[in-house]
Structure 1
């Protein structure tokens, strides 16, 4: 058996970047061949169910990364809340490359892909909201205020990513992260 040209983690990361930049509907198998360096047959050998399976692996990769680097930090009651917030916002900044990268929620929320990945998107959004709600309660806010702040965080992140991309001004995203920190003062 020949050794793989690209390991699974690197392959998923490259597929993620393509889906993130072109959306599920916009990315072609040819795009995935180019980003991975693999031929169509090799891609289908590793992902027999094609682009849907590739995207599901990307969703799992993203969720795992965010769980480890963002959401678990946000919920970690062994750390001071200020440290949790600072570390979380820094991880978000890095994950989105200062607002340069598109969010997977956006990349998969167009009509065709949304119907395929609706359950995963809803679970992912609820996962984010729950982590921010827990953080808000740990910060001393009531459950209702914590829930509202969590929603505002998601609106700020998602909105800032879109506006920063369209305006070609990453500082919009950086400012949104500062505003999120101020929400919890």
Structure 2
């Protein structure tokens, strides 16, 4: 198994158990690798595994969602495309947000600056599209923050209710709420 394959297999374990709950035993089980093999790939232990997963998920999000917002085109088209990518990225809300997972407990101590910078980039990227659509910068930033809050809230509802409808509803209405 390559290191990248191991990282991909670690993602669901961190999403399900969080940083603190993802023990080395669970991470070993998730990858099918023994603890010694995990340490071979990740000599820094669980924190290095989490950092590698963070980078992998962040890269995937950037390629699918942020690049969509940053390309040329009409703002409404970019936002609609980003919503489609969000639906795919979060598997209709079934995938927890890795930024949220890494924002509490021990993970927050380790990754706070990275998580904050990433969240600010997402908000800024979305706000820039709204400014392109003629919305004042301060209002665009507030709408972008509100959109993130709605998405995060929908992800929580999906997890607790075991129903993707709240996420689908938020994503479906997002372009109108952002540009309306």
TM-score, normalisation: structure 1 = 0.92
Q: Please tell me whether the aligned partners of residues 75 and 130 of structure 2 are also in contact (alpha carbons under 8 angstroms).
A: no
Structure 2: 5+ residue runs without aligned partners? none
Report what 2:83 is aligned to. 89
Of the three residues 109, 118, 137, the one matched with 1:115 is 109
In the TM superposition, residue 49 of structure 1 has moved relative to its aligned partner by 0.2
Report the Cα distance in structure 2 between the residues aligned to 1:46 and 1:40, rounded to whole angstroms: 10
Moved more, 39-48 or 104-113: 104-113
- Aligned equivalents of 2:118 and 2:15: distance in 1? 16
After TM superposition, give the deviation of residue 46 of structure 1 in Å: 0.7
- Aligned residue for 1:9? 4
2:19 to 8, 21, 24: 24
The answer to which of 58-67 and 38-47 deviates more is 58-67
CA contact (8 A) 1:21 1:107 kept: no
Counterparts in 2 of 1:85-164, with a 5 A limit? 85-164=79-158
Q: What are the within-5 Å matches in structure 2 for residues 48-63 of structure 1?
A: 48-63=43-58
Using the TM superposition, give the Cα deviation of residue 145 of structure 1 relative to its aligned residue in structure 2, in angstroms: 1.2
Aligned 8 A contact 1:74 1:84 in 2: yes
How far does the alpha carbon of each residue in 1:10-50 deviate from its partner, in whole angstroms, 9 at most, with x for none? 21111111101110000111111111111100110110001
Q: Distance in 1 between matches of 2:16 and 2:73?
A: 35
Which stretch shows the higher mean deviation, 43-52 or 97-106?
97-106
Contact 1:100–1:165 (CA<8 Å) still a contact in 2?
A: yes
Listed one character per residue, the Cα deviations across residues 133-184 of structure 1 (whole Å, up to 9, x for unaligned) are 1111112111011111110111011111001211111110000112211112
Task: Give me the whole-angstrom Cα distance separating, in 2, the residues matched to 1:105 and 1:133.
Answer: 19
Once the two structures are TM-superposed, the CA of residue 62 in structure 1 deviates from its matched residue by 1.4
In the alignment, the residues of structure 2 paired with residue 67 and residue 109 of structure 1 have an alpha-carbon distance, to the nearest angstrom, of 19
Deviation at residue 52 of structure 1 after TM alignment: 0.5
Long gaps (5+) in structure 1: 1-5
State whether residues 102 and 161 of structure 1, in contact with CA within 8 Å, keep that contact through their aligned partners in structure 2: yes
**How far 1:101 moved relative to its partner?**
1.3
CA RMSD of aligned residues (A): 1.2
- Identify the residue that residue 34 of structure 2 maps to in structure 1: 39
Equivalent position SS for 1:21: helix
Q: TM-score, normalised by structure 2?
A: 0.94
